[in-house]
Amino acid sequence: MTDHNREAVGQPFDPARMQYARAQSWAALHGIRERMHPGISEDEATTAAADVFRDLGMERLWHPPYVRIGPNTTKTYRERSIPGVRLGENDIFFIDLGLVFDGHEGDVGDTFVVGHVPEHQACAQAARDLFQEVAAKWRAEGLNGHNLYNYAQERAEAMGWRFNHAVKGHRISDFPHSVHKGGDLGDFGHSPSSGLWVLEIQIAHPTEPFGAFYEDLLTDPAH
């Protein structure tokens, strides 16, 4: 498959509707965050998310919602959580959503902290900062997907965090993006176009069992 085909979209595709799906997905993520409290389990958080999705008018999921707590924040979406983990008084968690609004896909993720553990807060903020730094590199230099992830790894290690190589970003579009088989951003040989690719960042503490995740759509500064 050529790189051109990897950026194919369907006839209904509309950049404005992509931005709407993105905004609604962020609203959903923060709605779930507001329902998180010490003692809640990942399964209970996922159940509570259904109310948030309904209130926002979500059409469907394009991937299951993931809420990862504590040691499960080091796991990718392909890995199962350690069962029975509940949010502690001093803990870290992330939310990863893949939702469809108005026929278009949103994909967002962020990490949050409860209590007072400075390393948790530093890790969550580092994932956000690393995302912004890599996105800025793309805007300034137009790096291809492979080089963007090489840069992300270098910067993560320079910041003192382990970089998760298994998380490489991907395409989204009008639903379902899977018909275009866009593959991973980290394997894309050209500079990704604005509004089509999700940059995923996952890092972990070098020795302790916790990490952080952040993802959003790569867009030009106007968005």
Indicate the burial class of 27 (C-beta count within 10 angstroms; 0-12, 13-18, 19 or more): middle
- Ordered per-residue pLDDT tens for the chain, 223 residues: 455 588 999 999 999 999 999 999 999 999 999 999 999 999 999 999 999 999 999 999 999 999 999 999 999 888 999 999 999 999 999 999 999 999 999 999 999 999 999 999 999 999 999 999 999 999 999 999 999 999 999 999 999 999 998 999 999 999 998 887 778 999 999 999 999 999 999 999 999 999 999 999 999 865 5
Nearest partner of 213 among 91, 123, 127, judged by Cα? 127
Q: Whole-model pTM?
A: 0.95
| Helix/strand/coil for 209 | coil
To which CATH superfamily is domain 5-217 assigned? Creatinase/methionine aminopeptidase superfamily (3.90.230.10)
